[in-house]
């Protein structure tokens, strides 16, 4: 007999949306230095093409990023980030108003601008509020779902900050403390992201993945973002371009162990993984 599970839900633009099956978030990079070169968008026609690809392949959320957070990245200025985001957000607001859009930013000013000027539905913060002390209160004011990711330091310094006694326990503890801070401010819609590839070694990333089901204790939607990352292509001794199969394997594992949202470059393959894993879990 199939067990009844408590469905996770989010308030998106005043509508209660239930994650009764996992969603796929398609990455829309408008940065010139994203770690995956094929994901970089350079002109308006490429923007439209990427948006249409994400939607036609089954993406439920489009995540727009204007400031690269790859390891060692030099942080773009706020003005650079705003200018990069502007064209993509204008197109999405005018031509795809029903699409759920998130913005990948650690800056509270960018978050407020994106929500108030362009109707962005979700803020995705890789720093978990650490890089801008105003972020948590801004999210509380905006009343939008907030993706809180675990990271230590900044993209420039994070790979020097990988000392853990127990990586899973420490990531869980950090996220739990911050979630409580958000709840105290009245933020009810929090999505958690363990931060694969951020201030973690390859071995620590796999340790986190092995214990992914432990994140259910947080009782929040769980986002997993491992698409074409170093933990895959270095372990398989391949390239970023050759890491799609490894990405799909890990996405499938994540889905079987509690992931509610997959953040990916390759939407079709992730959607297919969702379909198959949902079929496998039907009798649980």
pLDDT at 160: 83
Separation between Cα atoms, residue 187 and residue 58, nearest integer Å:
29
pLDDT by residue (tens digit) across 160-177?
A: 888 999 999 999 999 999
- 138-143 contacts, C-beta under 8 A, 24 or more apart: 138/108, 138/111, 138/112, 139/111, 139/182, 139/185, 139/187, 140/182, 140/185, 140/186, 140/187, 141/112, 142/111, 142/112, 142/115, 142/116, 143/11, 143/187
pLDDT by residue (tens digit) across 2-36?
A: 344 456 899 999 999 999 999 999 999 998 755 54
Q: Among 269, 256, 247, 249, which residue's Cα sits nearest to residue 222?
A: 256
Q: Per-residue pLDDT averaged across 94-111, rounded?
A: 97
Give the active site residues: 229, 263
pLDDT at 2: 38
pLDDT at 1: 32
Would you state the structure tokens that stand for residue 196, as one six-digit string? Answer: 């694969």
pTM score, two decimals?
0.93
Q: Per DSSP, what are the bridge partners of residue 83?
A: none
Domains of the chain (ranges, CATH numbers):
22-280 (3.20.20.20)
pLDDT at 33: 57
Write down the H helix ranges in the chain: 44-56, 78-95, 108-118, 135-142, 167-184, 202-210, 230-233, 244-256, 267-280
Are 134 and 57 in contact, with CB atoms under 8 Å apart? no
The three-class DSSP label of residue 41 is: coil
Q: Per-residue pLDDT averaged across 249-266, rounded?
A: 98
pLDDT at 104: 96
Q: Per-residue pLDDT averaged across 245-250, rounded?
A: 98
Q: Roughly what angle, to the nearest 10 degrees, separates helices 135-142 and 167-184?
A: 50
Does residue 37 have a pLDDT over 60?
A: no
Separation between Cα atoms, residue 71 and residue 63, nearest integer Å:
19
Which residues have C-beta within 8 Å of that of residue 238, sequence separation ≥ 6? Answer: 246
pLDDT at 85: 95
Q: How far is CA 219 from CA 190, 193, 278, in A?
A: 10, 13, 20
Separation between Cα atoms, residue 63 and residue 147, nearest integer Å:
11
**∠ at Cα 265 (261, 270), nearest 5°?**
50
Least confident of 9-23, 63-77, 125-139, 209-223: 63-77
Classify residue 6 by its DSSP letter.
Answer: P
């Amino acid at each position: 007999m199939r067990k009844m599970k408590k469905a996770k839900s989010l308030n998106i633009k005043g509508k209660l949306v239930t994650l009764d099956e996992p969603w796929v978030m398609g990455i829309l990079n408008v940065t010139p230095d994203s770690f995956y070169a094929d994901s970089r968008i350079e002109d308006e026609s490429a923007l439209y093409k990427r948006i249409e690809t994400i939607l036609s392949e089954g993406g439920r959320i489009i995540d727009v990023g204007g400031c690269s957070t790859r390891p060692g990245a030099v942080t773009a200025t706020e003005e650079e980030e705003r200018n990069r985001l502007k064209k993509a957000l204008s197109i999405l607001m005018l031509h795809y108003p029903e699409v759920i859009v998130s913005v990948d930013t650690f800056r509270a000013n960018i978050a407020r601008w994106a929500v108030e000027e362009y109707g962005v539905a979700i803020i995705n913060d890789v720093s978990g509020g650490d890089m801008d002390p105003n972020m948590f209160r801004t999210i509380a004011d905006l009343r939008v779902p907030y993706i809180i990711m675990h990271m230590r330091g900044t993209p420039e310094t994070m790979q020097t900050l990988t000392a853990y006694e127990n990586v899973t326990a420490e990531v869980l503890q950090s996220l739990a403390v911050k979630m409580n801070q958000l709840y105290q401010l009245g933020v009810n819609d929090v999505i958690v992201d363990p931060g694969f590839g951020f201030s973690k070694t390859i071995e620590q990333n796999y340790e986190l993945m092995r214990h992914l089901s432990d994140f259910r204790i947080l009782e929040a939607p769980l986002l997993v973002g491992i698409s074409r990352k170093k933990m895959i292509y270095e372990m398989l001794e391949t390239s970023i371009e050759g890491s799609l199969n490894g990405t799909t394997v890990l996405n499938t594992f994540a889905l079987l162990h509690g992931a509610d949202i997959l953040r990916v470059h390759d939407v079709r393959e992730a959607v297919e993984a969702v379909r198959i894993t949902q079929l496998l879990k039907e009798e649980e």
